[in-house]
């Protein structure tokens, strides 16, 4: 589970500062203020993990994001600035016993990662400057590339001790450092315990990013008929294009079909777009998505109802389909939804946070936030499980300021910046002033 994020010298941020990520984290603020940049930082690292080239330290161009060159993403386009990314997540690290092959029961620990990249103007290539992984029970593992291409010097530091290794370098990870060499067994068992746990940090980081999913603001138009590929996608896709495949695969078996149907029917009814949803076979591997229990009392094809229904469907599916401990990045989930549906969307996100997911949501919906505040007051979600950030541009770089929410769901005075959803209040004052002058 993602718990902390920080970006430095990346696009509009000189330094975002430490952002505490909670199960439900909401990013609000003006357009072009930097909200999407925070999501892109994570997507960039996710894209690097997925890159087919294991020697690529940072994949700026790919399927997840297309960011161009290093100078284009450096703060103020100053290519000499090093890009810095820090994040923290919970990982299950087994406890080893030297001399035994099987590890003991894994323990959940917070892994803190700091990555620093630099750019060579002559070579026009990005390179890793340092990757640093820190775990309380292990210590700090520093990885620095050596002059020997494709290799890194690894330094494991704990208390007042340290050990050095050489390893093949994979992206920004050192997956299998060479074993430490000692002439004496004195202190070897403790070092081996730490070494074995340190070697897992790269693979744990990779697993974390493979559980990170993204749903963009522009979701696909509803189709009158869908082709079921038979594949089992990991998520609904950037535009929700795999939502029907997810439903089709889960509908094949009763064990997975019944929970999906219960979840879908519950939220379809809550959003007021029907009493339920089902897949209707048209022949071969062609299916249509049908909403049941419409007001006219007939089943209706998804393509024949309001556009908003198709836009919220991928979110409903993803919240159910994503494995526990996944991180979901969602941009503008409220697009094409009327205010009442935006309120219900807040309930859906609260439900997802309660399922063990981490939701990082960029939104412009005051209605969505109001519903989350209400649910905090009602005790449906703790104020400690919600983080609200106002992201705004600044001459010194974009700023992400946290707005505190108390246990009554109220915004804490003194933490609300100027410009936070003031438009409605300002318009009301202007309206009153116009009426007074007439």
How do the domains of the chain map onto residue ranges?
Answer: 1-211+322-438, 220-321
Distances (CA, A) of 16 to 7, 9, 43, 70, 329: 6, 9, 16, 19, 18
Tell me, what's the pLDDT at 348?
96
Supply the mean pLDDT for the chain: 86
User: pLDDT tens for residues 123-142?
Assistant: 888 999 999 999 988 888 88
Tell me, what's the pLDDT at 183?
43
Interhelix angle 366-378/339-354, rounded to 10 degrees, is: 50
User: pLDDT tens for residues 240-258?
Assistant: 889 888 988 888 888 888 8
User: pLDDT tens for residues 57-113?
Assistant: 899 999 999 999 999 999 999 999 999 999 999 988 777 665 555 556 677 889 999
Neighbours of 399 (CB within 10 A): 21
CA atoms within 13 A on the CB side of 40: 18
CA 388 remoteness from chain centre: 15
- Among 146, 193, 183, residue whose Cα is nearest residue 166: 146
pLDDT (mean) for 265-285: 87
CATH of span 1-211+322-438: 3.40.50
pLDDT over threshold 90, residue 164: no
pLDDT over threshold 70, residue 435: no
pTM here is 0.89
* Of 153-157, 160-164, 369-373, minimum mean pLDDT range: 160-164
Which residues, listed in sequence order, are joined to residue 360 by a DSSP beta bridge?
25, 329
């Amino acid at each position: 589970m993602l718990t902390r994020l920080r970006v430095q010298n990346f696009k509009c941020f000189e330094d975002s500062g430490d952002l505490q990520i909670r199960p439900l984290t909401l990013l609000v603020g003006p357009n072009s203020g930097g909200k999407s940049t925070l999501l892109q930082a994570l997507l960039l690292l996710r894209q690097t993990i997925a890159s087919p080239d294991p020697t690529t330290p940072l994949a700026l161009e790919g399927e997840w994001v297309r960011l161009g060159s290093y100078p284009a993403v450096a703060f103020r386009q100053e290519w000499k600035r090093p890009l810095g990314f820090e994040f923290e997540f919970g990982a299950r690290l087994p406890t080893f016993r030297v001399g035994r092959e099987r590890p003991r029961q894994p323990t959940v620990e917070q892994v803190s990662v700091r990555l620093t990249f630099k750019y060579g103007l002559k070579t026009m290539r990005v390179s890793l400057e340092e990757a640093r992984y820190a775990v309380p029970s292990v210590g700090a593992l520093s990885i620095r590339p050596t002059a020997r291409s494709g290799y890194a010097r690894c330094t494991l530091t704990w208390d007042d001790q340290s050990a050095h290794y050489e390893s093949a370098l994979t992206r920004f990870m050192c997956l299998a450092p060479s074993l430490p060499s000692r002439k004496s067994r004195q202190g070897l068992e403790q070092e081996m315990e730490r070494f074995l746990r340190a070697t897992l940090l790269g693979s744990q980081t990779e697993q974390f990013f493979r559980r990170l999913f993204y749903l963009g603001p522009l979701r696909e138009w509803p189709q009158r008929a869908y082709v079921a590929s038979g594949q089992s996608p990991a998520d609904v896709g950037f535009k929700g294009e795999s939502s029907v495949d997810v439903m089709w695969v889960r509908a094949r078996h009763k064990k997975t079909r019944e929970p999906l149907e219960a979840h879908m029917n519950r939220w379809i009814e809550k959003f007021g777009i029907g009493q339920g949803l089902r897949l209707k076979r048209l022949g071969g591997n062609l299916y249509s998505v049908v909403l049941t229990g419409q007001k006219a009392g007939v089943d209706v094809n998804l393509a024949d109802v309001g556009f908003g229904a198709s836009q919220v469907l991928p979110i409903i599916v993803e919240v159910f389909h994503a494995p526990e401990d996944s991180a979901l990045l969602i941009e503008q989930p409220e697009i094409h939804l009327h205010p009442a549906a935006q309120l219900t969307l807040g309930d859906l996100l609260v439900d997802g946070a309660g399922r063990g997911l981490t939701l990082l949501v960029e939104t412009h919906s005051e209605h969505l936030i109001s519903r989350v505040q209400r649910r905090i007051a009602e005790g449906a979600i703790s104020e400690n499980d919600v983080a609200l950030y106002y992201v705004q541009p600044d001459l010194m770089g974009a700023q992400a300021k946290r707005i505190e929410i108390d246990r009554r769901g109220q915004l804490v005075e003194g933490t609300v910046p100027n410009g936070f959803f003031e438009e409605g209040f300002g318009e009301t004052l202007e309206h009153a002033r116009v009426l007074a002058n007439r």
